Amino acid sequence: MIARRTFAALLAFCAITAVVVPRTFAQDKSIVVASTTSTQDSGLFEYLLPLFKKKTGITVKVIAQGTGQALDTGRRGDADVVFVHAKAQEEKFLSEGQGVKRFPVMYNDFVLIGPNSDPAGIKGMKDVAKAFKVLHDKKQSFISRGDRSGTHSAELRLWKAAGIDIAKDHGPWYKAIGQGMGAALNTAQASNSYVLSDRGTWIHFKNKSDLQILVAGDRRMFNQYGVMLVNPAKHPNVKKELGQQFIDYLVSPKGQKDIANYTINGQQLFYPDASDPSA
């Protein structure tokens, strides 16, 4: 009988848990931001969001995805704000009426990473398109994100600039892994491959081993971030006031200063440029 009573007590405990649990989960004054793996993997949000919360009391819940997927999350109405980095895709999002207005926030740049030994011999090249051409011609192992992310879009632009139709013209040396930036860097590290990365994720990445930056500084490697409120006219559940407060903070002098102040080992990761309307 004791066992039966224990069993009943256990059931009661479970039932209470089931009732109490949802309440513990409840949180007020929060927004969902669909953003990119680069803003999360670079550590920017860990630094920025507590500052924003202190100022406004708003909790920001970040879903880190590739830019294409993050915009899709916005299209379904599952996010209040999208914060991504592929201007062409962002403008398409706006033209579909999915976003209210795009605000440029900050930039950094893409860097071409490869093993120290640099079997392709591209180190220090100033022309990134030429470097991509060499990788292609020498069939060097290359890791592509392959996930419609901002970095993937940039990589496809660079192949095009090199005069290569990578969708048709690639062999087993070109590996599209369909995963985030960190996973792509891990794969490159483990297989002595070349890979395109945003600088923020690269600086924050801890498993560099014998990978290093080989090509950087070409104007075509510019990486612009923009932020948009998901259109409440299309998705009535969007928290437009709270979402707009987040956007206003990012482009405000205070938010821009906070972004500029985020550094790792003295290296600045992102450069604010909300004041440049053409960005």
Q: Choose between 22 and 171: whose C-beta lies nearer to other proteins.
A: 22
Question: Reduced to 3 states, what is the DSSP secondary structure of residue 71?
Answer: helix
Single out the residue of 62, 135, 229, 250 in contact with other proteins (rule: CB under 8 A).
Answer: 62
Task: Tell me the number of residues near other proteins by CB under 8 A.
Answer: 42
Cα Rg of the chain (Å, integer):
22
Which range, of 94-102, 109-117, 122-130, 199-207, touches other proteins by CB under 8 A? 199-207
Single out the residue of 36, 37, 224, 256 in contact with other proteins (rule: CB under 8 A).
Answer: 37
| Window 104-163: residues binding other proteins (CB under 8 A) | none
Backbone CA torsion sign across 92, 95, 99, 102 = positive
Single out the residue of 136, 199, 204, 240 in contact with other proteins (rule: CB under 8 A).
Answer: 204
Of residues 278, 256, 243, the one with CA closest to residue 83? 243
H, E, C per residue of 215-237:
ECCCHHHEEEEEEEEECCCCCCC
Burial class (CB in 10 A: 0-12, 13-18, 19+), 137: exposed
| Window 7-26: residues binding other proteins (CB under 8 A) | 7, 14, 17-18, 21-22, 24-25
Residue 233 in the binding site for other proteins (CB under 8 A) = no
Q: Choose between 17 and 263: whose C-beta lies nearer to other proteins.
A: 17
Residue found under tokens 């309307």: 277
Percentages helix, strand, coil for the chain (3-state, rounded to 5) are 45, 25, 35
Q: Choose between 134 and 183: whose C-beta lies nearer to other proteins.
A: 183
Single out the residue of 99, 150, 182, 243 in contact with other proteins (rule: CB under 8 A).
Answer: 182
H, E, C per residue of 40-55:
HHCCHHHHHHHHHHHH
Q: What is the dihedral of CA 129, 127, 83, 276, to 10 degrees?
A: -130
Least separation in angstroms between CB 171 and other proteins: 27
| Beta strands 30-36; 59-65: pairing state | parallel
Residue 77 in the binding site for other proteins (CB under 8 A) = yes
Q: Choose between 4 and 168: whose C-beta lies nearer to other proteins.
A: 4
Least separation in angstroms between CB 118 and other proteins: 20
Least separation in angstroms between CB 80 and other proteins: 11
- Phi first, then psi: what are they for 8, rounded to 5°? -65, -40
User: Interface residues with other proteins (CB under 8 A)?
Assistant: 2-3, 6-7, 14, 17-18, 21-22, 24-25, 27, 32, 37, 40-41, 45-46, 49, 59, 61-64, 76-78, 179-183, 185-186, 189, 204-208, 235, 237
